[in-house]
């Protein structure tokens, strides 16, 4: 039997009540995300919805019970996202900045490092853009 959730299920999950659900566990939610990201999480135009849902879920867990482990989990999600070419990369960077403002430490250092990654991704996109436009 497939224990993964579909996208509609993921959108409806309230992380603050997940402990009370016998059928939806935190492990199943994270496993679903882990299976979906390598496929849908790479799409240049439409991956943002999936990433935003995952990050929002993990931030709700962080707000419910703050821990260094959860801060690092959310930070890694943001940094993974910022290392992938996507149309809304500036929006993702802005959301990461807000996250670090609210939950992080070493704000300036972390944002400078993330910005380096974003700039590399943007360079790759700019190099590919003329070629990809010629395919349309």
Task: Provide the pLDDT for residue 113.
Answer: 95
What is the pLDDT, as a whole number, of residue 13? 62
**Model confidence pLDDT, tens digit, residues 70-85:** 999 999 999 999 999 9
pLDDT score of 39: 85
Contact 51, 92 (CB under 8 A): yes
- Contact yes or no for 95/55 (Cβ under 8 A): yes
- pLDDT for the residue numbered 122: 94
**What's residue 106's pLDDT?**
92
* φ, ψ dihedrals at 65, nearest 5°: -150, 105
The pLDDT of residue 7 is: 52
pLDDT digits (tens, 9 = 90+) for 85-109: 998 999 999 999 999 999 988 999 9
pLDDT of residue 57: 92
Based on its alpha-carbon atoms, the radius of gyration of the chain, rounded to whole angstroms, reads: 16
pTM listed for this prediction: 0.80
Tokens matching residue 25: 């566990």
Per-residue pLDDT of the chain (136 residues; tens, 9 = 90+): 445 555 555 556 666 566 566 667 888 889 888 888 888 888 888 888 899 999 999 999 999 999 999 999 999 999 999 999 998 999 999 999 999 999 988 999 999 999 999 999 999 888 877 776 666 5
């Amino acid at each position: 039997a497939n224990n993964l959730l579909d996208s509609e299920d993921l959108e409806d999950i309230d992380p603050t009540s997940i402990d009370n659900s016998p059928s939806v566990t935190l492990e199943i939610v994270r496993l679903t995300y882990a299976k979906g990201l390598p496929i849908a999480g790479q799409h240049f135009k439409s991956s943002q919805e999936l990433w935003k849902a995952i990050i929002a879920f993990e931030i709700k867990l962080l707000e419910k019970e703050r821990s260094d482990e959860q801060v690092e989990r959310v930070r890694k999600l943001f940094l993974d996202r910022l290392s992938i070419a996507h149309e809304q990369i500036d929006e993702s960077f802005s959301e990461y900045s807000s996250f670090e403002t609210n939950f992080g430490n070493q704000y300036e250092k972390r944002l400078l490092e993330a910005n380096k990654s974003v700039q590399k991704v943007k360079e790759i996109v700019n190099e590919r853009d003329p070629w990809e436009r010629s395919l349309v």
